[in-house]
Amino acid sequence: MKEAYIINGLVCEVMPYGEESNIIFKTYSELCIDCGVKIGEYHKQGCKMEECPSCHNSIMYCKCKFE
Protein backbone atom coordinates (compact mmCIF):
# COMPACT_ATOMS: atom_id res chain seq x y z
CA MET A 1 0.00 0.00 0.00
CA LYS A 2 1.15 3.52 -0.72
CA GLU A 3 2.40 5.54 2.21
CA ALA A 4 1.99 8.83 0.34
CA TYR A 5 0.00 10.31 -2.51
CA ILE A 6 1.05 13.16 -4.77
CA ILE A 7 -1.95 15.48 -4.79
CA ASN A 8 -2.02 18.79 -6.60
CA GLY A 9 1.78 18.56 -6.88
CA LEU A 10 2.34 18.02 -3.13
CA VAL A 11 3.36 14.86 -1.27
CA CYS A 12 0.64 13.97 1.24
CA GLU A 13 1.00 11.12 3.72
CA VAL A 14 -1.71 8.46 3.61
CA MET A 15 -3.73 8.38 6.83
CA PRO A 16 -4.07 4.98 8.47
CA TYR A 17 -7.53 3.92 9.62
CA GLY A 18 -8.32 5.53 12.97
CA GLU A 19 -6.19 8.65 12.39
CA GLU A 20 -8.70 10.57 10.26
CA SER A 21 -9.17 14.27 10.99
CA ASN A 22 -12.65 14.71 9.46
CA ILE A 23 -15.31 13.87 12.08
CA ILE A 24 -17.37 12.14 9.37
CA PHE A 25 -14.69 9.46 9.05
CA LYS A 26 -13.92 9.13 12.77
CA THR A 27 -14.94 5.77 14.11
CA TYR A 28 -14.85 3.80 17.28
CA SER A 29 -15.00 0.44 15.53
CA GLU A 30 -12.00 -1.89 15.44
CA LEU A 31 -12.62 -2.52 11.71
CA CYS A 32 -13.39 -0.13 8.84
CA ILE A 33 -17.04 -0.56 7.89
CA ASP A 34 -16.21 -0.46 4.16
CA CYS A 35 -12.93 -2.31 3.59
CA GLY A 36 -12.47 -4.17 6.88
CA VAL A 37 -8.94 -3.04 7.78
CA LYS A 38 -7.93 -2.79 11.44
CA ILE A 39 -7.01 0.42 13.26
CA GLY A 40 -3.52 1.51 12.18
CA GLU A 41 -3.72 -0.24 8.80
CA TYR A 42 -4.15 1.52 5.47
CA HIS A 43 -7.54 1.40 3.75
CA LYS A 44 -7.84 -0.88 0.74
CA GLN A 45 -7.98 0.75 -2.69
CA GLY A 46 -11.50 1.96 -3.45
CA CYS A 47 -12.59 2.27 0.19
CA LYS A 48 -15.26 4.96 0.56
CA MET A 49 -14.16 5.65 4.15
CA GLU A 50 -10.59 6.68 3.26
CA GLU A 51 -10.08 10.39 3.88
CA CYS A 52 -8.20 12.45 1.30
CA PRO A 53 -5.13 13.82 3.11
CA SER A 54 -5.42 17.08 1.14
CA CYS A 55 -9.10 18.14 1.21
CA HIS A 56 -10.29 15.76 3.98
CA ASN A 57 -13.32 14.53 2.01
CA SER A 58 -13.83 10.92 0.94
CA ILE A 59 -10.94 10.04 -1.35
CA MET A 60 -13.45 8.39 -3.70
CA TYR A 61 -15.38 11.64 -4.24
CA CYS A 62 -12.89 14.46 -3.73
CA LYS A 63 -11.92 16.75 -6.59
CA CYS A 64 -8.16 16.71 -5.89
CA LYS A 65 -5.76 15.91 -8.73
CA PHE A 66 -3.83 12.72 -7.92
CA GLU A 67 -0.61 12.03 -9.85
Kindly list the domain boundaries of the chain, sorted by start residue: 1-67
What sign does the dihedral 23-8-15-2 (CA atoms) show? positive
pLDDT in tens, 12-38: 998 899 888 887 777 778 999 999 999
What does the pLDDT read at residue 20? 87
pLDDT of res. 2 = 66
How far is Cα 60 from Cα 48, in angstroms, rounded to an integer? 6
Mean local confidence (pLDDT), 54-67: 90
Global pTM value: 0.80
- In whole angstroms, what is the distance from residue 54 CA to residue 7 CA? 7
